[in-house]
Amino acid sequence: MMNLDSNDTLIIDNSSHSLHNHDQNPSTSLRKRKNLNRTQKNQKNEKTEKRKKIKINNDSELHLTLPKDTNRHFFNPNFKNTGQFFNPFITFSNNKHETPSIGIATHNIRGNFRNKLPDIINTMINNNIHILHICETHETQAPHQESSKAHESFTIQKITEVQHTNTNMYKQLHFHIINNPIDDGSRKAGNAIIISDLFFKHIAKIHTIPERYIYVNLNFKHKHQINIFGFYLPTNSTTNRQNIYESITEVYKQHFNKKINTRTYNFVLGDFNDNDVIFDDHNTPIRQDGRSVIGYRKKFFELLKNQQYADVQKKLLTRPPNTYKNHYGAYRIDYIYANSLILDKINSTDVITNYCYTSDHDLVVAHILTNDLFTTEKTQNTSLSTTNIQTNK
């Protein structure tokens, strides 16, 4: 496995590509072929495909192929409010003037983070995702870098993707990894956040609980802010799972901003390892299948309810899709919760299944409009004046 620290830069030469499954895990071949067929159908009218070469630290070269571009005209019939829907598949850009909407997402990648990283970055670009929370990186403890904005054991690594344009010029897209590695010897944990250069510049605070929880606060003009609370909650087989839940919940309470308003974009997201939790008539969290939620887990979901969070896919989709499959069945255990007052800013949400790396989970994404985050004061004042004039009429 390649070992990259915060001083390393991953350079991806995205000169061209077509879809190809380079992961040789036989157990996932059937699912990958199905995803491949779906993607090829979507791209059957494309006459040209690009080939891709990835170069990592000048030490090794890896040839693989990926979809040229999944940005397309698209409507999700599962989205309840058709008037609110906005095509999320726009060209990825780190220029705020070219970014009317961005994706915030979570995905349990099931380990092998460094080898999957090039494909993860391409999945972000192809789906206009600027903030991606990752569970199960299986990354071990990294050395602390005092110069980074991260706390304690975190490192922040810069990534550069180089894309060819039609004029043979190079376009660079920068990303940053906030890495939260494992520190207790467990193997199947660790989480991280990959964030675009556009939003990395707005980071004001980062705090973590090793391998389980990342809090990132981003500040914008006119008191707008985004708060990302990334969780990888323990499974039923995890040792000391109740202690982990309780410690995470207590730290989360300290970071939570009680002044929920339309300028505060709060997102609680991750793999919660609990199947399709809903609230009954008495506001008690239960599972969709009727089974009760364990007491210490129940407190976590009750906290979200009391803080006016809404399950984004449950709220905005007619049929929230499952996110995880095993030999017993399919389940919805990966979530994005959002401050209920900003649900009208979410113009799309879905589950992405055609990523080009192996996992037993699907990627959950919500796209939000950015006009309030990047609107200049002059524009806001003009808009306000126009509103006042219309009101006075």
pLDDT in single tens digits along all 393 residues of the chain: 333 344 445 554 443 332 223 343 434 444 444 455 545 544 444 433 333 333 333 222 223 333 444 333 455 667 777 656 666 668 899 999 999 999 999 999 999 998 999 999 999 999 999 999 999 999 886 544 434 443 344 556 777 766 655 555 557 888 999 999 887 666 788 999 999 999 999 999 999 988 899 999 999 988 999 999 999 998 888 888 888 898 888 899 888 866 677 899 999 999 999 888 888 777 888 887 788 888 888 889 989 988 889 999 999 999 999 999 999 999 999 999 999 888 989 988 999 999 989 999 999 999 999 988 986 544 444 333 333 333 333
Give the pLDDT score at 69.
Answer: 41
For residue 150, give both structure tokens.
Answer: 């991260």
d(CA 207, CA 61): 35
d(CA 98, CA 290): 46
Closest C-alpha among 283, 267, 332, 279 to residue 108: 332
Length of the chain: 393
Residue 211 in 3-state DSSP?
Answer: coil
Single pTM value for the model = 0.75
For residue 112, give both structure tokens.
Answer: 């092998």
Kindly tell me the burial class for residue 65, based on how many C-beta atoms sit within 10 Å of its own C-beta (0-12, 13-18, 19 or more): middle
Superfamily name with CATH number, domain 9-392: Endonuclease/exonuclease/phosphatase (3.60.10.10)
Residue 109 in 3-state DSSP?
Answer: coil
Kindly tell me the burial class for residue 5, based on how many C-beta atoms sit within 10 Å of its own C-beta (0-12, 13-18, 19 or more): exposed
**Contact yes or no for 106/133 (Cβ under 8 A):** yes
- Give buried/exposed letters for 262-281 (b at 16+ CB in 10 A, else e): eebbbbbbbbbbbbbbeeee
Residue 67 in 3-state DSSP?
Answer: coil
Kindly tell me the burial class for residue 192, based on how many C-beta atoms sit within 10 Å of its own C-beta (0-12, 13-18, 19 or more): buried
